[in-house]
Structure 1
């Protein structure tokens, strides 16, 4: 193709806005397909599906055993 890779920084909150504003041509890796995003962009057939996995320090393991424990005010990601 003769194309050169240029990595364009973005963030999750700005991903679709930046895409719609033509800041980049393709976004890939770890982007979940959902209805809101499908209304704005074409998604190819995924060749790999993987989920999201929360991680924490070993010392915090007991504090975060459920999604409800994670989804609390003051817990940051």
Structure 2
């Protein structure tokens, strides 16, 4: 009888950890980064933006095109 209870308690303990819920994939915290500022040698309206937030650029890469007319 004692063995039966030990087996039942062990079985319930193992099954209680089983779930069909998806694991948590979000976390909280913060990210630190360095700001970089872009500037054009001439003034004008931005005609085309060739990058999106988070993109990495190499030196002298085109980030935007100005309409200088």
TM-score class, shorter-chain normalisation, is under 0.3
Which entry has the higher C-alpha Rg, 1 or 2?
2
Question: How does the TM-score come out when normalised to structure 1?
Answer: 0.19
More helix by share: 1
Question: How does the TM-score come out when normalised to structure 2?
Answer: 0.21
